[in-house]
C-alpha cells in the first residue's frame, strides 16, 4: 500500500511473497534451472531443477534463516530418485548462499580441476573405448 494517498503506486512496497517469487525467477535464470509449476506444490516438488540439482529457494528479509535436517532430508528424498542432488538457495538480506552436501562440493571441485587440466594441456587426449 502507498506510504500516503498521494504516493505513486511504484513507491508501494512489494509484499514479501511477490519479492520472493521475483528472486526465485532471477535465481532460476542465472542457474539455468527450470522452475516448477506453483513453486513445487504440484507433481514436481520444490522450486526448480537443473540437470544435476533439485533446488529449493528461500528468501527472507530477516537476519537469519534456519535449516532443519528433516526439511533437508525431504528435499534429498525427492531428488535421489530423479538422479539429482539436493540444493537450497537461501537469500538472507541480500546475501545469496547455496547449501549443498560437502561430497557434492568435492565432486564439483574435482570436475572443475579436471576440466581445467584439459584446457591447460592441449596435448592431453581422452580415449573413449568402444563397448
User: Residue 121: is its pLDDT beyond 80?
Assistant: no
Lowest-confidence pick of 16-20, 89-93, 124-128: 124-128
Asked if 114 and 124 touch (Cβ cutoff 8 Å), the reply is: no
* pTM of the shown model: 0.72
Q: Where are the domains of the chain?
A: 9-100
Give percent of the chain above pLDDT 90.
Answer: 50
Q: What does the buried/exposed string (b/e) look like for 26-59 if buried means 16 or more CB atoms within 10 Å of the residue's CB?
A: ebbeebebebbeebbeeebbbbbbeeebbbbbbb
What pLDDT score does 9 carry?
62
Q: What is the pLDDT of residues 9-65, one digit of tens each?
A: 655 555 566 777 888 888 899 989 999 886 655 667 788 999 999 999 998 889 999
Mean pLDDT score across all residues of the chain: 83
Amino acid at each position: 500500500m502507498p506510504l500516503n494517498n498521494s504516493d505513486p503506486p511504484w513507491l508501494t512496497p512489494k509484499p514479501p511473497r511477490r519479492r520472493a517469487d521475483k528472486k526465485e525467477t532471477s535465481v532460476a535464470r542465472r542457474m539455468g534451472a527450470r522452475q516448477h509449476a506453483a513453486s513445487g506444490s504440484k507433481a514436481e516438488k520444490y522450486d526448480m531443477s537443473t540437470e544435476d540439482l533439485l533446488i529449493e529457494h528461500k528468501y527472507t528479509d530477516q537476519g537469519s534463516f534456519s535449516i532443519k535436517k528433516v526439511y533437508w532430508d525431504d528435499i534429498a528424498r525427492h531428488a535421489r530418485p530423479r538422479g539429482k542432488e539436493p540444493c537450497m538457495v537461501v537469500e538472507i538480506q541480500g546475501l545469496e548462499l547455496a547449501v549443498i552436501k560437502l561430497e557434492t562440493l568435492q565432486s564439483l571441485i574435482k570436475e572443475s580441476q579436471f576440466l581445467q587440466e584439459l584446457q591447460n594441456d592441449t596435448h592431453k587426449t581422452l580415449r573413449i573405448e568402444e563397448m
